[in-house]
Amino acid sequence: MPELPEVETTRRGLEPLVRGATVSGVVVRNHSLRQPVPRDIATSLLGQRIDELERRGKYLLFRTVEGTLIVHLGMSGRLWVVEAQTAPAKHDHFDLALANGNVVRYRDPRRFGLVLWQRGDPLEHKLLRDIGPEPFSDAFNTQWLYAQTRTRSGAIKTTLMDSHLVAGVGNIYASEALFRARINPKLPARRLGPARCATLVETVREVLADAIKAGGSSLRDYVNSKGEAGYFQNNFSVYDRAGKPCLVCGGAIRSLVLAQRSTFYCPRCQAR
DNA sequence: CGCCAGGCCTGCACGC
DNA sequence: TGCGTGCAGGCCTGGC
């Protein structure tokens, strides 16, 4: 379940291996992802040079002069580099072969991910157009969060996961950020005052930055021939810790479902 | 064996 | 009317 930190770690691992390289081959073994992989994606990509590997929310953007390969890892996707001739496994749906000898391989058992080609500016793509500010950008700030939550009666945890409000905050880090901010996940978003908005902006950035930092140590796992591991759990304060002691107060972590998503919090530390 | 998480889009219902 | 909002459904497989 790649969240923003995993996507960013993937980006950092792959960037030096793909930047400046020319696409020499494209293999699509299964077009059936969340959206169909475009039939002409090979034609679009062949011969293009990858100038940049960027991230927007949880989308990876392989930019070329003519357009952009957009990749989303969905919930079970992985992207890493294998040696040429490495035999594909069952769910290896897509390969991007580069003239420098590297082969970028996409594996996604549950196929919630995406592999798309967008001519021109990728940020104009329908899926990216309306995404909110990046969590580490200046645009994601107290004023923005406060203004955006005024009309929201839904739970702040659910609101935090709305990509229009802030890009890339998924289920795990929504719970984690609220725990650090000592805010109850069920609190209606509009009831947050400026001070708590300021805290939340900070803790969202903190939990994501910490996870990216932790991912740095397992960076290699994203570019070696295994492509496994590289997931930095075990550092969670509340996520998936129902019934276990709160690391701050020792009380039992509780779980509940909000908007069909599992949610974890400490009822004592996050009383309101 | 059956259930269900997980990201996130789409479609629908609702209220202003 | 139209829009913002909230909620449910759907996709899919591995793991419990």
For A10, A42, A162, the CA distances from A84, given in Å and listed in that order, are 19, 18, 39
Q: Which CATH number fits domain A142-265: 3.90.1150.10, 1.10.287.110, 3.40.50.300, 1.10.8.50?
A: 1.10.8.50
Q: Which residues of A are designated catalytic?
A: 2-3, 58, 261
Integer distance in angstroms from CA A185 to C1' C6?
A: 16
Q: What are the domain boundaries of chain A? A: 4-124, 142-265
* pLDDT for position A216: 54
Separation of alpha carbons A79 and A250, rounded Å = 39
Q: What string of pLDDT tens digits covers the 272 residues of chain A?
A: 688 988 998 999 999 999 999 999 999 999 988 888 999 999 999 999 999 999 999 999 999 999 999 999 988 899 999 998 899 888 899 999 999 999 999 999 888 899 999 998 898 888 898 899 999 999 999 999 999 999 999 999 999 999 999 999 999 999 999 999 999 999 999 999 999 999 999 999 999 999 888 875 444 344 443 344 444 545 789 998 888 999 999 999 999 889 888 899 999 999 98
Return d(Cα A106, Cα A209) in angstroms, integer: 25
Structure tokens at A178: 């609220």
Cα dist. A141→A123, A134, A271 in Å?
21, 10, 24
Cα A213 to the center of its chain, rounded Å: 15
Rounded (10°) angle between helices A194-216 and A4-18: 50
**CB proximity list for A260: less than 8 A, separation 6 or greater:** none
The angle, 0 to 180 degrees and rounded to 10, between the axes of the packed helices A171-181 and A194-216 is: 120
* Residues paired with A67 in a beta bridge: A119
What pLDDT, on the 0 to 100 scale, is given for residue A227? 43
The reply to whether A136 has its C-beta less than 7 Å from any atom of strand C is no
Cβ < 7 Å from strand C, A residues 16-35: 32, 34
Gap from A42 CA to B12 C1', Å: 37
CATH 3.20.190.10 fits A4-124, yes or no: yes
State the pLDDT at residue A214: 82
- Domains A4-124 and A142-265 fall in the same CATH topology: no
Can you give the distance from the CA of residue A114 to the C1' of nucleotide C11 in angstroms? 12
State whether the beta carbon of A74 lies below 7 angstroms from any atom of strand B: yes
A136 beta carbon to strand B: under 7 Å: no
- The DSSP letter of residue A123 is G
